[in-house]
Amino acid sequence: MELVYTSTRNANETVTASQAILKGLAGEGGLFVPSEIPALDLDLDELAGMTYQETAYEVMRRYLTDFTEEELKNCIDQAYDGKFDTKEIAPLVSADGAYYLELFHGSTIAFKDMALSILPHLLTTSAKKNNVANEIVILTATSGDTGKAALAGFADVKGTKIIVFYPKNGVSPIQEKQMVTQRGENTFVVGIHGNFDEAQAGVKNMFSDPDLAEEMERAGYQFSSANSINIGRLVPQIVYYVYAYAKLYANGEIAKGEKINVAVPTGNFGNILAAFYAKQMGLPIAKLICASNENKVLYDFFSNGIYDKNREFILTSSPSMDILISSNLERLIYRIAGEDAQKNSAFMKKLSEEGRYEITAEMKEQLSDFYGNYASEEKTAQTIRRLYQDTGYVIDTHTAVAAAVYETYKAETNDTDTKTVIASTASPFKFTRSVMDAIDHNACDNMTDFELVDALGRISGVEIPQAIESIRNAEILHDTECETNQMQETVKRFLNM
């Protein structure tokens, strides 16, 4: 049966999976969602024996129904290969009473690699399937990790160009250097004088501008997205939750059908939404623990049913979560609004015009799968330090937010028996200064970022990732900056329009 995709803002806009991947964003600013969540109708004993690639095929074929077996397997094989430094692709590490699902073994050492390694292949396959002649321009806003992972995925991919906007002073030094040293004739990087939400708003405005779309068409271009608003990003993320559960079972850590919790550090809501979709498919998940940093808009939403972005934007040590407009939450709002595009549109209109909306009591009742909380900067640093001192295991700042919130969850609920997977979303080497500062504040005095990298390598006993070594002395190739109101003009200049 072919699964179709519908816009969260227009019930009449339906497309195939490949068309949804190509478009990225639906009309009127909506997001594409599957018309139904497919069942994971596979025996767990069968799943337990599968490789990551085999698991990816079984999950993704249920969503991408207009791809042939050969097309989908080809995309998977090209994505999950030697770019990852572990054969398992996403290993599980047991530490301090939880299981850390390490999602950072790809080429840019962040969880975005898990989906952005395959998206270019899904996109170019979708273009062929739909007889697209235009060059595809990937337009992306990043809070730090998506940018580099997308640039690495699309670099020199024929028929594509990629333009990434990032907040000039809102990412870590390592994140910035990874982006501005990116090679590839088709890659463009821009630091905007603003925050991530402003970068994302600028990108969404370009996507929904019909005049710009017409101008692009005349010049032989069309936009698509590498952000998690693209369903081609979201579907591959479901895979690693299924894989983690199957591996826990295969390793004898859980019984067949035993429920687990999943704790996810959350900014744009895509990563935890993928876990929610996995649960809807039938994966035995008890609680979805949504962990925020001090930009706790999601914690407040789960507490009182009010989404309110009218607040101070805080720069934290977990910059990939410094977000006040969680785009993927719209997919959840659409679902709990009874998949009513009109109702969902009304909420999104309020968010756009007033910066806030409040869901109904009936909708709030449907959020019982979720537990939301947040970790302060101090608590995040304490968590890194305590875990290192107690176990020798070093985690990054984002993973520490999830670990800290999981501790709060246990204290508040007394749920200490349910096995819990914590999504470990980045290598500590990507946020070296913050991690080293948390472990030993004095260690950071007068040390450069790369001296800190070497120090972290020594204390953690972990080999410094190639992604870090490759940028140590790399040449800066991208130095463009712009104001938020100059983003469209900058895109046109890159495309010689």
So which residues are the catalytic ones?
112
Residue 319: C-alpha distances to residues 267, 293, 294, 369 (Å): 9, 9, 11, 26
CB atoms within 10 A of CB 36: 11
By the 10 Å C-beta count (0-12 exposed, 13-18 middle, 19+ buried), 441 is classed as exposed
CB atoms within 10 A of CB 78: 13
In sequence order, the β-bridge partners of residue 292 are: 374
Q: Does residue 66 contact residue 73 with C-beta atoms inside 8 Å?
A: no
Q: State how far the Cα of 411 lies from the Cα of 163, in Å rounded to an integer.
A: 44
Report the SS3 class of residue 111.
coil
Structure tokens at 22: 């190509």
Q: How would DSSP label each residue in 178-205?
A: HHHT---TTEEEEEESS-HHHHHHHHHH
CA 315 – CA 294 distance, rounded (Å): 9
From CA 161, how far away is CA 236, in angstroms rounded?
Answer: 22
Tokens of 463: 């080999």
Residue 206 contacts residue 488 (beta carbons within 8 Å): yes
CA distance 250 to 343: 43
The β-bridge relationship of strands 32-34 and 5-7 is antiparallel
Among 204, 199, 208, smallest CA distance to 165 is for 199
Q: Where are the alpha helices (DSSP H) in 282-355?
A: 297-304, 329-336, 341-354
Query: Which residue matches tokens 């990937």?
Result: 138
